[in-house]
Chains A and B, each alone.
Chain A
Amino acid sequence: MVAFEVPEIDYTRYTNRQLAAVPLVILAVALLIVGGWYVATGAPVDPGVDFTGGAELRVAVDAPDGQARERIQQTFDPAPESIRSVPSDDTYILTFQTDETGVSALETQARDAGFEVQSSYTVSASFGSRTQGLALGGVAFAFLGMSVLVFLMFRTFVPSIAVVVSAFSDIVVPVALMNLLGIELTLGTVAALLMLIGYSVDSDILLNNHILRRSGGFYESTHRAMRTGVTMTLTSLSAMIVMTLVATMFGIQLLAAIGTVLVFGLATDLINTYMLNLSLLRWYKYEGVAN
């Protein structure tokens, strides 16, 4: 069997500034996108049905793809906000971001048109906004809790803040990507963002631990931490890519949403851990502490 090795990067060729610049520029662009979105739409990311209220219907339509979409458009009043087709079983997922027409009425419209209703889901607007508040509070609490824990574990400012900043970036960059790709915030994506806090901190803690608490030179420790950390992230990344693809094919939206956001986040985490966190640690190790 061929074993792959995590390549050893010669970090001595780059200054701390050069290393930190890439992830910081990415973070700045992401913040700009999220901020711009907030200014333009009033929300940092487009909330989905879970948070705005509305209805979601999954219907089986017995027609070829092009015609099916047309028939769906004609059938419903109001017309659905979005129509997504599920490749594996010829069904369509329709979202209606309004709860003025009850989901019962929509179901009746679907049945009258000869569609088979596979599932329906409805959230009222007031319930949705309540959920949104809870979800945002949950993410904020999780992030604060993580930060406090990291500071307690390392008890020094620079290494701790390095972990917190890269975890922050691991969340903001996927949110910006969600905006760009038109992925809405759902309960699934909130779960994924929370999971990112847990996942992304793993490799940062590993790196900090190797560099700060182990004997051996900086570059040697870095390389050892990278061998383990990159393997970890690549394993999770491959599992999530596969899960996203399969879940999208089957139309299991919850799993697909979690998978997509985690793929973005884990990829961002590779950059953040081994460029941003690493440069901060190197600065701390060589210049931050008086030798």
Chain B
Amino acid sequence: MGTIRDNWRVILLALVLCASLFALFSPTVGGNDTDTPGLASAGVTNLQYGLQLSGGTRIRAPLVGVTAEGVEFDGTEPPQIERDVAAGLDNATVADVIVREESQTGGTVEVTTDGVTPAQLGTALDAAGYSYEATRGGVTEATRSQTVDVLSNKINEAGLSGGTVQQITTPTGENFVLVEVPDENRQEVVDLVNERGSVRVDAYYATDDGAYEQTTVLERDDFQSIGTAEQGGEGQQPRVPVVVREDVAPTFQEEMIRSGVAQPGGSQCRYSMSPNNTDPCLLLVVDGEVVNSFGMSPGLARGMQSGDWAQDPRFVLQTQNFSGAQDVAINLRAGALPAALDIGPDGAGTSSYIAPGQGQRFRTDSLITGVIAVFAVAGVVFLRYGEVEVAVPMIVTALSEVVILLGFAAGIGYPLDLSVIAGFIAVIGTGVDDLIIIADEVMAQGDVNSRRVFQSRFRKAFWVIGAAAATTIIAMSPLAVLSLGDLQGFAIFTILGVIVGVLLTRPAYGDILRALLTR
């Protein structure tokens, strides 16, 4: 009994070490690796590696946009307000204005395009006769979470497995969207994220007086299902098969007949060659740009004329090339981004890309760096004490702190990055420092022959250790809460290491030393 009571600290340390090893190596912990997004799990351990150590692309940027809050709608319907506000702004279209109702009488108005300042939005609202409380940069929470959802969809639809999109809010109140995609080329991700991805189909036809007119006939919500992109057959363009919603199909059919796209015998589109002398066309418009134009086959036109088509409203969207078809399919399925990410030369974000090979190399290289640093510490400790009984437990104790932290990281699935590794090295550094204080204090002034002498010396040593730990925690706390990019992991693990050290490993080292010295 007595031994257990005297050595409870060592026993506790052993238990925690076992738990950490279990978290690190047990296949039952973190077993659903494949489902964990954004991270690569590796090898025999349950450790997960962040982008720096596994390769991939990370983009971190705020959303483009300005918001007016507390706008009084005066009974006007949101679509009308969107048109009114867009009319008052030079470089915004109706699609860039989002009106959200928050109460019976009012809500927010956002403009999500580059180059509109809060002041300009205010002027536009004033001009249109809407009163508002305040305008500011940034978008609303609803827009942010919608953007995050759409981006996640887009990344999944594009087949970028393991990608994650999340919203981060800094303690200073700024909001960022963080996109992480493993193993993918930066440019592909940027392209995917950069596209707003609004897809629509317009009819293009000559009116009675000979002038051409363009009206939107299908939008994303009008589709019931969207097929996968197909390579075109002989002489045909790549395409995305779609099914138009039943309730929209009759209107679309009518519209096709009225505009002449579904004229008897079909239509031949020459929009790209001579837009002023062509049969009626359908235009595929992505982000406001016409990406393709096509007519209608005689067969389909016949179906529309007879009204049979609306019973089975299948349709194809044709594109110039296969990658275009894929983009259209992705954008239609994922939806359009309500607001774009502010990246690019004059944006406000950061992006980084690490080649997978480089990430792997960093992993082994940083491991080697850490091990060599431990050897350096061990060397000095051996040189200084020359006693194996003091030095070996010291190194083992310091290393056990790292094992516990690694187990913790594996247990909660915290991705290891270079900054976390730096944190581990810092922990070994402060850990050994404290163990030196304990050893010197305990062994000072002659032999430790009684428990009481040991206890009082140990307690004295602990005052310094506690004070040093408190200062380290204070010094690191800004980094842990401020989202200063990569350094959060460093600070979190240094602080955790200090806490684990003071509460667990360093007292246990005291017990070990006592057992070895008071025999």
**Which residues from chain A sit less than 8 Å from chain B, CB to CB?**
1-4, 50, 58, 88-89, 99-104, 107, 116-124, 126-127, 130-131, 134-135, 137-139, 141-143, 145-146, 149-150, 153, 187-188, 190-191, 194-195, 197-199, 201-202, 205-206, 209, 213-214, 224, 227-228, 231-232, 234-236, 238-243, 246-247, 250, 252, 254-255, 258
Contact = CB atoms under 8 A, between A and B. Distances in A.
Contact of B350 (A89, A107, A123, A228): A123
A235 B361 contact: no
Interface string B473-487: 011111100101111
B383 A198 contact: no
B366 to A, nearest CB: 6
Most buried by A among B353, B460, B491: B353
Most buried by B among A4, A88, A100, A134: A134
A241 B376 contact: yes
Contacts of B494: 195
A118 B354 contact: yes
11 contacts: A3-B384, A58-B358, A121-B352, A124-B348, A134-B172, A149-B471, A194-B491, A195-B426, A198-B471, A209-B467, A243-B373
B344 A246 contact: no
B344 A102 contact: yes
B353 A202 contact: no
B430 A247 contact: no
A228 B377 CA distance: 15
B95 interface: no
Contacts of A224: 440, 444
Contacts of B382: 1
B149 to A, nearest CB: 24
Closest 9 CB pairs of A and B: A3-B386, A198-B472, A138-B478, A250-B365, A145-B474, A197-B475, A228-B440, A242-B376, A121-B352
A119 B429 contact: no
* B interface SS class: helix
Nearest to A201: B471
A116 B487 CA distance: 28
B384 A153 contact: no
Contacts of B80: none
Contact of A124 (B347, B419, B433): B347
B290 interface: no
Nearest to A248: B369
A101 B61 CA distance: 18
Given A149-B471, A224-B444, A243-B425, 7 more contacts: A88-B365, A103-B186, A142-B478, A227-B440, A242-B376, A252-B365, A254-B419
Contacts of A201: 468, 471
Interface in B338-358: 343-355, 357-358
Contact of B429 (A187, A227, A236): A236
A20 B491 CA distance: 34
B369 A131 contact: no
B440 A231 contact: yes
B491 to A, nearest CB: 8
A103 B351 contact: yes
B93 to A, nearest CB: 25
B387 to A, nearest CB: 8
B432 interface: yes
A150 to B, nearest CB: 7
Contacts of A122: 350-352
B478 A137 contact: yes
A238 B471 contact: no
A240 B353 CA distance: 28
B441 interface: yes
A242 B379 CA distance: 12
Interface string B75-106: 00000000000000000000000000000000
B474 A142 contact: yes
Most buried by B among A130, A199, A202, A240: A202
Contacts of A120: 186, 351-353
Interface in B367-387: 368-369, 372-377, 379-387
A117 B353 CA distance: 9
A142 B385 CA distance: 34
Interface of B: 61, 172, 174, 186-187, 190, 343-355, 357-358, 361-362, 365-366, 368-369, 372-377, 379-388, 418-419, 421-422, 425-426, 428-430, 432-433, 436-437, 440-441, 444, 460, 463-464, 467-468, 470-472, 474-479, 482, 484-487, 490-491, 494
Contacts of B487: 187-188, 190-191
Contacts of A127: 61, 348-350
B368 A246 contact: yes
A103 B57 CA distance: 13
A238 B186 contact: no
A137 to B, nearest CB: 7
Contacts of A2: 383, 386
Contacts of B470: 149
B475 A142 contact: yes
A238 B350 contact: no
Nearest to B366: A252
A246 B372 contact: yes
B369 A209 contact: no
Contacts of B172: 134
Contacts of A238: 376-377, 379-380
Contacts of A188: 422, 487
A118 B360 CA distance: 11
A146 B468 CA distance: 10
Most buried by A among B345, B352, B472: B345
Given A142-B475, A246-B368, A255-B366, A239 B468 contact: no
Given A124-B347, A228-B437, A119 B468 contact: no
Nearest to A251: B365
Nearest to B57: A120
Most buried by A among B349, B372, B383, B464: B464
Nearest to A247: B369
B418 A254 contact: yes
Contacts of B444: 224
B478 A104 contact: no
Given A3-B384, A104-B187, A209-B464, A239 B475 contact: no
A75 B344 CA distance: 22
Given A103-B351, A238-B379, A232 B433 contact: yes
Contacts of A153: 467
B478 A141 contact: yes
Nearest to A242: B376
Nearest to A214: B460
Contacts of B428: 239
A206 B422 contact: no
B380 A234 contact: yes
Contact of A145 (B190, B362, B419, B477): B477
Contacts of A227: 440
B34 to A, nearest CB: 25
Contacts of A117: 353, 355
B479 A235 contact: no
